[in-house]
Amino acid sequence: MDKLRPEDLDKIADRMKNVMSLRQGAGRAKITVHMGTCGIAAGARKIMSAVLRSMDESAVKDVIVTTSGCAGLCSREPMLTVELVGEAPVKYVDVTEDKVKRIFAEHVVNGKIVPDYALAVGSEQTL
Amino acid sequence: MKSYRTHLMLCAGTGCVSNGAYRIKAALEQELVKQNLQDEVAVVMTGCNGFCAQGPVMTVLPEGIFYQLLAEEDIPYLVEEHFLKGRPVKRLMFTPPAEKAPVPRMSDIGFFKKQRLIALRNRGLIDPEKIDEYIARGGYRALAKALTAMSREEIIEEIKKSGLRGRGGAGFPTGLKWELTAKQPGDEKFIVCNGDEGDPGAFMDRSIVESDPHSVLEGMVIGARAIGATHGFVYIRQEYPLALERLNLALGQARRYGLLGKDILGAGFDFDISVHRGAGAFVCGEETSLIGSLEGRPPEPRIRPPFPAESGVWGKPTCINNVETWATVPEIITRGSAWFSQIGTATSKGTKVFSLVGKVKNTGLVEVPMGITLREMVFDIGGGIQGDRKYKAVQTGGPSGGCIPASLLDLPIDYERLNEVGSIMGSGGMIVMDEETCMVDVARYFLEFLRDESCGKCTACREGVDVMYQIVSDICAGKGEESHIPLLEELGEAVKDGSMCALGGTAPNPVLSTLRYFRDEYEAHIKERRCPAGVCKALITYRIDPQKCKACLLCNRNCPQEAISGEKKKPQTIEQSKCIKCGVCRDVCKFEAVTVQ
């Protein structure tokens, strides 16, 4: 490793951005992959890998990726929810690895919902 | 760096390591592989999380879920439920003693809620063995600013304006110390980081070095630049193997990145740091003794002036600050003195790290704003007294601090207030005592420690502390006389006056402060031959209350002296001539039938 110059500190921080935004729980978007038994059976594990791969390949690093249980619509699994900061969550159904690429590029990076795959905007009411 | 979705921040501070943190790590990694989650979930070993009482502890990020008291057998279930299926496991979360429902998030737990982290700003958030993580959290930016955008005078002015005072105990204004050293003539100057943390029950410095070693190094380079120092020393205890290992690792990384050595950050400033391992003498925390030890001489204090700022290591101007002080410096440079000085009280700015130990429910390492009350420390952060017994006192400042009684629980903690009530800030030890603590016995314990640790140079400290120890031991042994109390007070003042360094100057504090606030306990020992807390063995008798005894014979079977006898189904009795007052009978009794008087 070469000796650092002051500007190199920012480069290191940039390289580490995915690590730090995860630790601080702050990012432009949150992607939830639903991992109920139904989701896993329908291939949610592959979907998770595809999401992480998309992030590795993208310059966008400040995305929180998480899992949650069954979303209730087992017949349309695998499902994932994308939630941009300040916007309502969007649920995508019948997700495939290829669909993940497009959702990541269009919705997460560019902020445009992919209507072809989306089920609905918003979530059920909770108490 | 590769993307993961979850980071498991597993505490690898000394406390959690001795509770098996590395076994938990191995179990987690094995289980993650089994569930094929190793590319999604990363295990990160961090420095001390602070909540040592609940170790091994782990925080799951980004959600901030806090798991505690982890055991290897919990791991398969935890990995499957939470990390695969996304369902946090309630039974491994922290449940506050007075409540029933567990608190999932770390930020909602009382122990963490009132804390404000400056010196410990990166604890639990970075892997202390990776310099890139420190840099990613804003590390070494303050150094870049100090080297490229600030003059030496401006750095000193910023520290002066911040109101930062020495965190090692005496509370001398840091900026002033830097200025005094900077103004000395000569090309060769030194700075020293004092990590000789000798107080029993104190582990602030160790935790800072273990959890964020670069924060200390960065502070030292900034200080060196301001003062014009050419070389720095970290004086750290040999008994801190983990801190030493991480410190040496950090030094190597900083050198490779050009943050130490020649031409730091290309700004034309040269400075390097070496590590000196202390051999464990308490007196080495005193700065002139530390200098002696650093030079290879016996660690004995010398008269001041000249102060180390004028004549320190090898007679050169030397600036000595404590670990916590150095770790605080970069934040002040980054955020500015105005930000720092708005935290705290009129005379004591910023935050202070305390190791909260003793009879509180939540023991551990906490950083709080100056001015917080003792009550908040003991009851809000500490969670109250174990077993819901009555609070009696808190001892601040290590062995030579004083004991502060319940009537002063609302005292705001700062340097001046603690001095007014006969104690000291010290380096941040805080030992909580309850109604089952005998204050005379406490004074005896600390005197014994100080008697052993007195270097022997000043007669008043060497002989005076020893005599005080013998008198207090006599009182505990039931041989106290009424003349002992005024004698202790007179001796205490003499030891204070006749000692050169702070060890002797503060050694009588445990006796004088307990005499001030708990005189009735001394009097009970002397006049009534009674230990009200039931601690001093010579003055107590164990008895079995025949009304409460259910004749279960548990005490009878467990007594190591076979001193308990009695017929089956009849109340048992203790034969006093055989009893060694070990207290086993009282511990095993399920009916609270064994009493101590």
Reply yes or no on whether the pLDDT at A126 is more than 60.
Answer: no
> Which residues on chain B are in Cβ contact (under 8 Å) with A15?
1, 132, 136
Range 73-112 of A in CB contact (< 8 A) with B: none
Q: Any CB–CB contact under 8 A between B269 and chain A?
A: no
**Average of pLDDT values for B423-437?**
91
CA distance B490 to chain A (A): 57
Chain B residue closest in CA terms to A15: B1
**Average of pLDDT values for B212-220?**
97
Contacts 24+ apart (CB under 8 A), A120-126: A120/A90, A120/A91, A121/A88, A121/A89, A121/A90, A121/A91, A122/A88, A122/A89, A123/A81, A123/A89, A123/A91, A124/A72
Task: Answer whether B227's CB lies under 8 Å from B261's CB.
Answer: no
**Average of pLDDT values for A59-65?**
87
Angle (CA) B410 B416 B422, round 5°: 75
Give the pairing of strands B231-237 and B190-195. parallel
Q: Any CB–CB contact under 8 A between A55 and chain B?
A: yes
Q: What is the pLDDT of residues B551-565, one digit of tens each?
A: 999 999 999 999 999
Q: What is the pLDDT of residues B485-510, one digit of tens each?
A: 999 999 999 999 999 998 999 999 99
Per the listing, tokens 């309502």 go with A88
Question: Would you tell me how many other CB atoms lie within 10 Å of the CB of residue B408?
Answer: 18
All structural domains of chain B:
6-107 (3.40.30.10), 131-341 (3.40.50.11540), 351-434 (3.10.20.600), 439-527 (1.20.1440.230), 541-596 (3.30.70.20)
CATH code, residues A25-121 = 3.40.30.10
Reply yes or no on whether the pLDDT at B376 is more than 70.
Answer: yes
Q: What is the pLDDT of residues B284-326, one digit of tens each?
A: 999 999 999 999 999 999 998 999 999 999 999 999 999 999 9
> Which residues on chain A are in Cβ contact (under 8 Å) with B132?
12, 15-16
Question: Would you tell me how many other CB atoms lie within 10 Å of the CB of residue B142?
Answer: 23
Alpha-helix runs per DSSP H in B184-308: 204-211, 213-227, 241-256, 287-295
pTM: predicted TM-score of the whole model, two decimal places: 0.90
CA distance B159 to chain A (A): 22
In a 13 Å sphere around the CA of B131, the CA atoms on its Cβ side amount to 23
Reply yes or no on whether the pLDDT at A1 is more than 80.
Answer: no
Q: Any CB–CB contact under 8 A between A58 and chain B?
A: no
Q: Any CB–CB contact under 8 A between B519 and chain A?
A: no
Q: Any CB–CB contact under 8 A between B9 and chain A?
A: yes
Range 79-138 of B in CB contact (< 8 A) with A: 83-87, 125-126, 132-133, 135-138
CA distance A48 to chain B (A): 8
Task: Answer whether B281's CB lies under 8 Å from B453's CB.
Answer: yes
Query: Shortest CB distance from A15 goes to which of B1, B148, B266?
Result: B1
B84–A55 C-beta distance less than 8 A: no
Contacts across the A-B interface (CB distance below 8 Å): 106
Distance CA B356, CA B353 (A): 9
Q: Please, which residues bridge with residue B365 across strands?
A: B355
Distance CA A65, CA A61 (A): 11
> Helix (H, G, I), strand (E, B), or coil: what is residue B278?
strand
> Which residues on chain A are in Cβ contact (under 8 Å) with B6?
22, 66
Spans of all domains in chain A: 25-121
The pLDDT value recorded for residue B1 is 63
Chain A residue closest in CA terms to B257: A3
Q: Any CB–CB contact under 8 A between B160 and chain A?
A: no
Reply yes or no on whether the pLDDT at A124 is more than 70.
Answer: no
Task: Answer whether B20's CB lies under 8 Å from B331's CB.
Answer: no
Task: Answer whether B199's CB lies under 8 Å from B446's CB.
Answer: no
B135–A13 C-beta distance less than 8 A: yes
B39–A1 C-beta distance less than 8 A: no
> Which residues on chain B are in Cβ contact (under 8 Å) with A24?
62, 125
The pLDDT value recorded for residue B133 is 94
CA distance B211 to chain A (A): 16
Task: Answer whether B203's CB lies under 8 Å from B120's CB.
Answer: no
The pLDDT value recorded for residue A49 is 92
The pLDDT value recorded for residue A127 is 52
> Which residues on chain A are in Cβ contact (under 8 Å) with B63?
25, 66
Query: Shortest CB distance from B132 goes to which of A16, A61, A67?
Result: A16
Integer-rounded Cα radius of gyration of chain A: 16
Q: What is the pLDDT of residues B317-331, one digit of tens each?
A: 999 999 999 999 999
Range 19-48 of A in CB contact (< 8 A) with B: 19-20, 22-25, 27, 35-36, 40, 45, 48
Q: Which of B468, B448, B464, B515 is nearest to B282 (CA)?
A: B448
Kindly report the average pLDDT of chain B as a whole number.
93
The pLDDT value recorded for residue B559 is 93
Integer-rounded Cα radius of gyration of chain B: 26
Distance CA B111, CA B124 (A): 15
Distance CA B369, CA B383 (A): 18
Which of B179-188, B260-269, B396-405, B410-419 shows the lowest mean pLDDT across its residues? B396-405
CA dist list (Å): B537 to B287, B419, B476: 39, 33, 8
